[in-house]
Amino acid sequence: MSSFEGIGIEAVIVKAIEESGFEKPMPIQEQVIPYLMKEDRPDILALAQTGTGKTAAFGLPLIQKTDTHVKHIQYLILSPTRELCLQITNDLQGYSKYKSEIKIAAVFGGASIDMQIKAIKKGAQIVSATPGRLIDLIERRVVDLSSVKTVVLDEADEMLNMGFREELKSILDKTPKDKNTLLFSATMPKELLSIADKYLNDPVEITIGKRNSGAENIEHVCFMVHEKDRYLALKRIADFYPDIYGIIFCRTRRETQEVADKLLKDGYNADALYGDLSQVQRDTVMNKFRLKNIQLLVATDVAARGLDVDNLTHIINYNLPDEIYLYTHRSGRTGRAGRHGTSIIISNLKEKYRLQQIEKQINKTIKLLPVPSGKDICKKQLFHLIDKIEKVEVNDEEIDSFLPEIYKKLEWLDREELIKKFVSAEFNRFIEYYKESKDLNQPVDGRSSGKGHSESSGFTRFFINLGRIDNLKPATLIGMINDYTSIRNIEIGDIEILNNFSFFETDSDYTETVLQSFINKKYKNRQVAVEVADNKRGSGNQKKRKRQATKSSNKKNKKSGGMKRKKSKAGKKSMV
Ligand code: AMP
């Protein structure tokens, strides 16, 4: 087993890192540090995920090699985001805790430039920077890179994704030709390899884990559900893992906000992080998440960049990312620093091909798991509760004075009854909630999309006070339903356009949404009224037909089904 001293790290640094809990070098440190301790160090091209310990891999040798007599920039570390830039600065400050002569400056956008100028002018030997602000400071002639000995490009793929290609080139061109360059990246796209070709001189290639693959200790699982059940599946997952601490990735800002709002409304400890929050709002959410005051953070890929949290138990892909490589980034946020992590994908059958592409990229199998049933969840929650009771700390001093009265009040109950009651007090809401829960699984073999659904989830029939005299066409009505409900894939059943009014059917899981979304809407200056109609033609098990297109059945002269606001059997709301 190697030690930090064994790979050449000096005692004052070892003392500092041991105090922050490092006991022995991580694999990337064992590989990189000995190269960087050499006098004539080679360039390095390292394929490594975040969380592998790469900051210390380049940071410890840089701290040790810094010439404290010299007051100009010797080492430059470039990273894509303010958060990562600050994280690197903090880490380096920690390693150099007992080397007070070392000055490290952080240079990043969105903060006062004057403070950063001051920090550099104080004689910073190490600068941790994001590319945009660094260029600004170079142009102002505050930063001079002519004496830089080593440049580190951290999360280089992210820097390219964020559009810093030209900035990187411009910065690298201002550093000395004979400097030493270290490139760290979680993935190695072609564009990055061409930069490496141009700027790295015969580099030593180091790979921690497989090329473009996920970290070894991450398990990849998938729950296959119908499109419309995505959110229900998410809630089941959150309930099935009561101690979950993770990020839920969404594709758009809107989806992020919607999922976070729904989770909050349903009583989960969640919040959203997306691009156009102010820096202060971002910091507040991130801090709460770091402190575990938020258990589930809903985020877009861009917003989650630079969010550095080590002990996430799960990553949830609410939707798969548009670009496959982003999956590696997402999943790399769990299973860090040697811990076990799980990357969960909520998917539908149409995405099967993309799952195969991901499997190829991560070189691992994605395990297909059944969505936990209501019963599974109740069982899990019950034992979680029992566990909590077993482990709860009792504050004798505070509780002692109340106990005699409590004992007296509960005297008539024996041990078994008492346990039953205590457990039920907490547990009943889960039983209640899940008692009529449906099976959310979408069968993977066989094409049927109807199987796996509870038979009770059919269509609800609505009355609308518009008809042929208003020139209402099925296509217009479908457009209204999609627009007003904002549900992309809502399933629409039969449409009957009559003279003065019409009927339409939609997925009964969205009955309330449809009713709410038609409130206060006007059509050609007429106030629109929509109500649940009696299900005259109808059985609750009418076959569902998916109709997002403009085709409709336009049955003539069907008698009005009545306008009483009564829910059809098919319209019965699911418990979940
Ligand atoms: P990084 O990949 O640099 O973001 O590091 C991931 C996490 O691992 C950070 O929280 C580091 O503090 C931690 N870490 C780095 N090196 C070690 C080590 N040798 N022992 C224990 N933890 C470490």
For the segment 402-413, the average pLDDT, to the nearest whole number, is: 91
Residues 33, 171, single domain; the answer is yes
pLDDT value at residue 335: 79
CB of 310 sitting under 6 A from ligand 1: yes
Centre of ligand 1 from the C-alpha of residue 232, in Å: 36
Same domain, 288 and 165: no
Average pLDDT, the chain: 83
Residue that is last in its domain, among 207, 237, 265: 207
Residues 6+ apart with CB under 8 A from 376: 240
576 in a structural domain = no
Q: Whole-model pTM?
A: 0.52
Ligand 1: nearest atom to the Cα of 52? 2
Q: Which stretch of 83-87, 99-103, 443-447 has the lowest confidence by average pLDDT?
A: 443-447
Amino acid at 243: D
pLDDT for 280: 85
Whether the per-residue pLDDT at 574 is higher than 60: the answer is: no
Quick one: 7 and 75 in the same domain?
yes
405 has pLDDT over 60? yes
Q: Which of 13, 22, 90, when mutated, tests ligand 1's pocket best, judged by the most ligand atoms within 8 Å of its CB?
A: 22
Q: What percent of the chain has pLDDT over 90?
A: 44
- CA–CA separation, 512 vs 395, rounded Å? 46
Give mean pLDDT, residues 20-48.
90
Average pLDDT over residues 50-69: 93
Residue 214 near ligand 1, beta carbon < 6 Å: no
Q: How far is the CA of 266 from the centre of ligand 1 (A)?
A: 36
Are 287 and 348 contained in the same domain? yes
Gap from CA of 521 to ligand 1 centroid (Å)? 56
Closest alpha carbon to 231 in 270, 201, 194, 198: 270
Lowest-confidence segment of 33-47, 164-178, 316-330, 423-437 by average pLDDT: 423-437
Q: Please tell me the total count of domains within the chain.
A: 3
Q: How close is the Cα of 206 to the center of ligand 1, in Å?
A: 18
* Comparison of pLDDT for 164 and 216, the residue scoring more: 164
| Torsion angle in degrees (nearest 10) through CA of 63, 66, 68, 69 | 180
Q: Averaged over 62-88, what is the pLDDT?
A: 94
In a shared domain, residues 286 and 343: yes
Instruction: Look at residue 461 and tell me if it is in a domain.
Output: yes
Q: At 391, list the tokens.
A: 């482990």
Angle at 150 between CA 148 and CA 151, to 5 degrees: 95
CA of residue 156 to ligand 1 center, whole Å: 19
pLDDT average, residue stretch 320-324: 85
Considering the domain boundaries, does residue 389 fall inside one? no
The predicted structure's pLDDT at residue 562: 26
490, 354: one domain: no
Ligand 1 atom at minimum distance from 25 CA? 19
CATH code, domain carrying 196: 3.40.50.300
* Residue nearest ligand 1's atom 12 by CA: 53
**Ligand 1 neighbour 335 (Cβ under 6 A):** no
- The pLDDT tens digits of the residues spanning 465-505 come to 999 999 898 888 988 888 888 776 677 878 888 989 999 98
Tell me the pLDDT tens digit for each residue of 513-525: 899 999 989 898 8
Closest ligand 1 atom to 23 CA: 20
On whether both 160 and 40 belong to a single domain, the answer is yes
**Nearest one of 532, 461, 470, 524 to 500, comparing CA atoms:** 470
Kindly state if the Cβ of 175 falls inside 6 Å of ligand 1. no
Structure confidence at residue 362 (pLDDT): 83
- The parent domain of residue 548 ranges over 453-556
116 and 40, same structural domain?
yes
Q: Tens of pLDDT along 335-361?
A: 776 678 899 999 988 888 889 889 888
The residue contributing the CA closest to ligand 1 atom 18 is 22
Encode 363-376: b = buried (16+ Cβ within 10 Å), e = exposed. ebebeeeebbbbee
The per-residue pLDDT for range 192-245, each reduced to its tens digit, is 888 999 999 989 888 875 444 446 788 999 999 988 899 999 999 999 998 899
- In which band, very low, low, confident or very high, does the pLDDT at 322 lie, cut at 50, 70 and 90? confident
User: Same domain for 92 and 163?
Assistant: yes
**Relative to the CA of 55, which ligand 1 atom is closest?**
3
Same domain, 269 and 166: no
Q: What is the CATH number of the domain that holds 463?
A: 3.30.70.330
pLDDT of 435 reads: 73
pLDDT of residue 1: 54
Let me know whether 245 and 138 are in one domain.
no
